[in-house]
Structure formats: structure tokens, C-alpha cells
Amino acid sequence: MKPIYILGISAFYHDSASCLLEDDKIISAVQEERFTRTKHDPSFPINSIKFCLDYANLTPDKLDYIVFYEKPFIKFERLLETHFLHAPKSLIQFVQSMPLWLKERILIKNIIKKEIEEKLNEKLSPNTKILFCPHHLSHASSAFFPSLFEKASILTIDGVGEWATATLGFGNKNKINFFYELKFPSSVGLLYSSFTYYTGFKVNDGEYKLMGLAPYGNPHSEKTKRYIKTIKEKLIEIKEDGSIKLNMDYFAFNTSFKMVNEKKWIETFGIPPRKPESKILTEYADMAYAIQNVLEEILIKMAKFLKEITKEKYLVIGGGVGLNCVANSKLLKEKIFEDIWVQPAATDAGGAVGAAYAVYHMYLGKERICNGKDKMEGCFLGPEYNSYEIEKTLKKYDNLQFYKEENQDKLCNLIAKLINEKKIIGWFSGRMEFGPRALGARSILADARDPEMQKKLNLKIKFREGFRPFAPSVLWEDTQEYFEWDRPSPYMLFTAPVKENRRKNIPEDYYEWDIKDKLYFIRSDVPAITHIDFSARLQTVHKETNYKFWNLIKTFKELTGYSIIINTSFNVRGEPIVCTPEDAIKCFLKTEMDCLVMEDFIIFKKDKKEK
């Protein structure tokens, strides 16, 4: 029988992406930013669509359905309503946003058709249907349909879609039903983003930095306690069922391009907004701790309420807040649900996957088959490059020295040796990851045992804030040697405590210390991946889904006795993860990385090799 091809598209807010389904199998999925090299690129994902079609050897006329991940008219209605409610304060926002909407966003159907036909020089078939999936259904669908559960409770939670900012639902086989929703402006995502903004990070980008900063806060200090109390008493009202309402006197996102009413926040918290790139004072770390704490409380209450309704054993999570791995782990620890699966590309990029699955299972009513494995293919859904393409690119650079090593064991042996010698490795292997995490296809690897490595990687390789933690990749079979953790975590969406026996004793006044002192205190025998609170955002590496990477870590274990290494995304600050060999080489040359591995090629900088 002829397969059904569905193209899912998310665009025009942040993290544009596309995804191609062949029946219920994801053939490819990739964010536009990887091609345009603009982080979180919101533009129409034409490069991504082109890749998806080329990879499947399809022309646009072979597509049966194209589905956009939200309903533009409803979103437009929300914008107008917001302007109605807040006039005349919303004048500036109205004048700025309307031309964009009138010129393109509202005409999305035409834009999809036009962009594909003109940029790809191929006509769509008259039979190709263009469909629209509600934003939170896209998230719910991206979380449930590719998951390994036949039935599950569904929680979606993000900044805002059309009107909804969070939904509670239930998935069973090929159906999704929703029970409740929170509506704009009551938004947990926007609440968290407001603090992202106030602590000096970029909204829709720096949320994970805020999460990383939170453990530097002092949970016992009066200031932190006061911040938590202030948030819960003045900024929001939290009900027992996890629903919240924002006190809009403190927020400005519905009337201006600012997130908060700064005057009110200064009065309330007693500190001004942190200037981006300025020194991070402990007050901001305490603030990060406070909002993370409140977020966790809300999520736990929501999950309990959802469990009461569905009585289901499993939970799936979609929407940007799902990337808060600390909160995910707290949810798991509460044992409200037996297991939790989070869509690895939980932001709007994953909406492309969800919209496509919603069409397959809900619009077309096709059966959903569960075989105990998720359908994300380890997230390796992007482009890959063969030896010929890599060599061709390498030859363009005369400042590189490279050779080919086709024997994979030898290659892994050499790289394991280099990592053991505290060298930093760029690792480019197979299909690029879909979603924000590098999982061993476009990664920078280093030795987790080196106490200097976190500092070195942050400042000399990634050029980013010194406090930022690094994640470990560990062989799945050895996970319990390092972490209090008992289940697969292939997508880095949970944090786990480092085993007690690996930890170093901390001084009594540890929590009073300055951020820098805390940062450079050696906390375990794998210090580079042990965060300030003894947690780590772990990736379990499985032989079946990620053989080459698994083999490398196994070789490292044979050499050192440690089956754990640092795995951080192959990019520098402010840039998307590398996609092509050219991107990888540029990044390699720009930083102090010691060696680059691209498939079978081992590459050094000429001067380094000579040394």
C-alpha cells in the first residue's frame, strides 16, 4: 500500500522546524536554525523542508498533507483581544505587531504554498491538503504519539500558544482528549521567562541558564525564603490543583515588549534587573532558586490533579517547560506517576512532529502501534554526511591535518586516549540530533574527572558563563555506579543525584559561599559533571540506538575504569549546534578544541599536531 507522507511545520515564533512522517515513522526532523545559523530562527523553515524532502527522495507534489502547528486566526484573535483589553497601553505593541500579521502570518496557507513552490521550484499537488493543528494539541501529540506508552496522562505547558498556556489531557491509543486548559495571560512559561529576563538572560533562550543558576542560590537564606513568599503572595496565586493566575500589575508582556513591570519588581524584590553579561550576584542566584522552587510546586500540584482525573500510571510532557529537567526529576521523585516521558524537542520545534502525528492518528484515524520503544529514533533525525563530502570540505582548509581511520575500534582507542590526556574532542558522527540537546552526533567531549574541565570548557571552548554545568554521558549498563537512577534517560531530560560514595564532604558553611567559590569546590570524583547540588543532567547511552558513541565510552572505560564522559553541544555561545562538516570545522578552528572527529576522519590543527 502506498505510504502516506505528512509534512509538519512549526514557524514564526521561535525554533522553526519541519518534520516528515512516512505513515507513523519519522523520516526526518530538523530545526531551521541549523541551516541558517541563526539561533532559534523563527523564519519559514524552507531549508529544513528541503532537507526533509531530499532525505526521503520526495518532491513536494508527493506530499499528502502539510500541517502547520497552530491556528493562526485564533492566535490573531488573542492578540486583538489583548489589545482591546489593554488599550491605550498596548498602542506600541499594536502598531509594531499588526503589519507583520497582516502582511504574512495571517496568510499562512498562501505562504506555505508559495514558499515551497517558489523556493523548491516544484509545484505541490492539487491533492495536497494544508491543515492546521491547535498549538497545544501539537505539543500533546508530540509528547504522546511518539512515546512508548499505550495510554498516558498528558501535560502540556509552555509560554503561550493560541490562548492556552497549559493543558491537561489523556491519550489512549490513537486518541487524545483534553480536560482543562489554562488561558493566557495565566502562564507558567511566561512567569518563568519573566525571571529569565530579570536575571539578565534572553527570553526563550536563557531559561535553561536560569535553571542552571538556581542551585547556586542559598535555600536557607532569609532572602531566598522572602523571594519565594513574594512570588506566591504578590506575583501569582496558586490553587491546590496547580492552576495559577498572574497578578498582571507585575507583568508587562501583554502591553509591551518587556516582560515585567520593572518599577514594581524593584519595589518588591529590592534589586534591579540584572544587566546581561554583568557579574551574577548571589541575589540573582537566590531569585533563580526561588522561581525554580515555585515552578516545581506548580508542576507537582498540576500532576497530582491530573492523576486524580485520569488515574493513569504514566505521564507524558510537551511544551517548552518540559525541558526543565530539574522539575521533571522532581515530578518523578514525587512518584505521582510510575514513569514520565518528555518529548526531547519539547519547544515549538517539536510542534512540527506533533502536528504531523495528530494528522496521522487523529485526522486520518490511523492505528497507533506501541512496541515498548519510543518513535524518536534517539533523536538522530537530521542530516548526515559521507566520507566523500567530509574529505571534500577538509581539503579546502590548509591549516588542518587529517587522516582516515576506518577501523572503528582503533578510532575509539585513539580518542579515548586523547580524552584521558585531558584533550577536548569535537565529535561529529551520523545524523544530527533534532531538539536542543547534543546526544553524541554533534558533541564536544571531554574527561569528567578533570576538576579544571568545567572552567576550561566554559571559558575557552564554549565562551559562556563560568557557572554553567556540563552534562555526562554514561553507559546505560553502568548508570547506577554513578547515579541514583534506575531508568533510561537517553535525551538528557532528567537530572539524577551523583552517588553518595562518589561525593566529597562539603564544609558546613558551603551554602553561604560566593558563587565562584562554590563553583570551583571539588564535589565528587567526576567533578566536571557534578553540579553544585550534586546533581547531573545525565544521558544514558545505549548500545542499540547509539552504537558508535557507546563504543567510544566503553573504550574509555577499558582505559580508565570510568564509563562516563562530558558531553556538551558542538557549538559556541550564541550559535546553533553545528550541522555540516563546514560548520564543525569553523567551530573547531574558532575554539581551543584539540581534535575533531568527523565520521572516519581524525583532524588536528596543524600547529597543535606539530606540538
Partner 1 sequence: MEHKQFKKEIVERTFLIYIILFSILFLITNHKIFPILILIFALSGAVFPKVPVYLYKFGNFIGELYTKLILSIIFCFLICPISFIKKLQKKKILEKNSFWEEIDFKIEKENFEKMG
For the bound state, the minimum distance from the C-beta of residue 186 to partner 1, rounded and expressed in Å, comes to 6
Please report, as residue ranges, which positions from 506 to 535 form the binding site for partner 1 (by CB under 8 A). none
Member of 133, 298, 331, 394 binding partner 1 (CB under 8 A):
133
Helix (H) and strand (E) counts in the chain: 21, 22
Nearest to 429 by CA among 449, 445, 418: 445
Please report, as residue ranges, which positions from 63 to 92 form the binding site for partner 1 (by CB under 8 A). 67, 71-74, 77, 83-88, 90-91
Beta carbon nearer to partner 1, 169 or 426 = 169
By CB under 8 A, residue 126 contacts partner 1: no
By CB under 8 A, residue 109 contacts partner 1: yes
Measured CA distances, 487 to 146, 158, 381, 477, 542 (Å): 18, 26, 23, 10, 12
Helices 408-420 and 547-560, interaxial angle, to 10°? 50
CA distance 17 to 48: 6
For the bound state, the minimum distance from the C-beta of residue 450 to partner 1, rounded and expressed in Å, comes to 48
Beta bridge partners of 446: 566
Member of 129, 422, 557, 586 binding partner 1 (CB under 8 A):
129
By CB under 8 A, residue 326 contacts partner 1: no
Beta carbon nearer to partner 1, 74 or 572 = 74
Beta carbon nearer to partner 1, 99 or 372 = 99
Query: String of b and e for 364-377 (b: at least 16 CB within 10 Å)?
Result: eeeebeeeeebbbb
Peptide linkage before 88 cis (omega within 30 of 0):
yes
Member of 48, 142, 153, 186 binding partner 1 (CB under 8 A):
186
By CB under 8 A, residue 167 contacts partner 1: yes
Beta carbon nearer to partner 1, 98 or 300 = 98
Beta carbon nearer to partner 1, 51 or 69 = 69
Hey, which bits of 80-174 come out as E strands? 129-132, 151-157, 164-172
By CB under 8 A, residue 101 contacts partner 1: no
CA distance 512 to 532: 13
By CB under 8 A, residue 241 contacts partner 1: yes
- Of the candidate spans 270-278, 287-295, 355-363, 572-580, the one that interacts with partner 1 by CB under 8 A turns out to be 355-363
Member of 117, 172, 178, 377 binding partner 1 (CB under 8 A):
178
For the bound state, the minimum distance from the C-beta of residue 345 to partner 1, rounded and expressed in Å, comes to 22
By CB under 8 A, residue 108 contacts partner 1: yes
For the bound state, the minimum distance from the C-beta of residue 172 to partner 1, rounded and expressed in Å, comes to 13
Please report, as residue ranges, which positions from 361 to 420 form the binding site for partner 1 (by CB under 8 A). 362-363
H-type helices in 205-311, by residue range? Answer: 207-213, 222-230, 262-269, 282-310
Beta carbon nearer to partner 1, 184 or 570 = 184
In the chain, the amino acid numbered 2 is K
Q: How many residues bind partner 1 (CB under 8 A)?
A: 51
83 alpha-carbon distance from chain centroid: 31
By CB under 8 A, residue 593 contacts partner 1: no
Nearest to 422 by CA among 390, 384, 460, 467: 460
For the bound state, the minimum distance from the C-beta of residue 421 to partner 1, rounded and expressed in Å, comes to 51
Beta bridge partners of 17: 10, 31
For the bound state, the minimum distance from the C-beta of residue 197 to partner 1, rounded and expressed in Å, comes to 23
For the bound state, the minimum distance from the C-beta of residue 83 to partner 1, rounded and expressed in Å, comes to 5
Nearest to 458 by CA among 444, 478, 472: 444
CA dihedral sign of residues 510, 511, 512, 517:
positive
State the cell numbers at 413: 582507542
Beta carbon nearer to partner 1, 300 or 572 = 300
- Region class of 433: left (phi > 0), else alpha (psi between -120 and 50), else beta: beta
Beta carbon nearer to partner 1, 50 or 455 = 50
Residue with cell 572505560: 557
CB 445 within 8 A of CB 451: no
Residue with cell 590548509: 398
Please report, as residue ranges, which positions from 11 to 70 form the binding site for partner 1 (by CB under 8 A). 67
Member of 9, 49, 176, 190 binding partner 1 (CB under 8 A):
176
By CB under 8 A, residue 318 contacts partner 1: no
State the residues that interact with partner 1 by CB under 8 A. Answer: 67, 71-74, 77, 83-88, 90-91, 94-95, 98-99, 102-103, 108-109, 129, 131-134, 137, 167-168, 176-183, 186, 237, 239-241, 243-245, 305, 358-359, 362-363
